[in-house]
A = this chain, B = another copy of it.
Amino acid sequence: MNLKSKNIVSVRDLSKEEIKTILQKAKEMEELLNSNKSLDTMRGKILANMFFEPSTRTKFSFASAMQKLGGQVLTLEDTESTSIVKGESLIDTIKMMEKYSDLIVIRHPREGSARLAAEVSSKPVINGGDGANQHPTQTLLDLYTIRRLKGKIEGLNVALIGDLKHGRVMKSLAYALARLDARLTLIAPIGMEMPQVIVEELIEKFDADIMRTTSITSGIKEADVAYVCRVQTERFEDVYEAEKMQRAFRITQDVLKHAKDELIILHALPKTTEIDPKIDETRYAKYYQQAFYGVPVRMAIISLLVK
Q: List residues of chain A with CB under 8 Å of any chain B CB.
A: 37-39, 43-46, 54, 56-57, 60-61, 63-64, 67-68, 70, 72, 74, 76, 82-83, 85-89, 91-93, 95-97, 99-101, 269-273, 277, 288, 291-292, 294-295
Contacts and interface: CB of A to CB of B under 8 A. Distances in A.
A270 B92 contact: yes
A288 B94 CA distance: 10
A61 B95 contact: no
Contacts of A44: 37-39, 68, 70
Contacts of A97: 60
Nearest to A45: B38
Given A60-B96, A86-B272, A100-B295, 5 more contacts: A38-B43, A72-B72, A87-B273, A88-B271, A96-B288
Contacts of A83: 54, 56, 270
A297 to B, nearest CB: 12
Nearest to A289: B99
- Give how many copies assemble into the complex: 3
Given A44-B37, A46-B68, A64-B74, A96 B57 contact: yes
30 contacts: A37-B44, A38-B45, A44-B68, A44-B70, A46-B67, A56-B76, A56-B83, A60-B97, A60-B100, A61-B99, A63-B74, A63-B100, A64-B74, A64-B100, A67-B72, A86-B270, A87-B270, A87-B272, A91-B277, A92-B269, A92-B270, A92-B271, A95-B288, A95-B291, A96-B288, A96-B291, A99-B288, A99-B291, A99-B292, A99-B295
Nearest to A65: B100
Nearest to A69: B44
Contacts of A57: 96
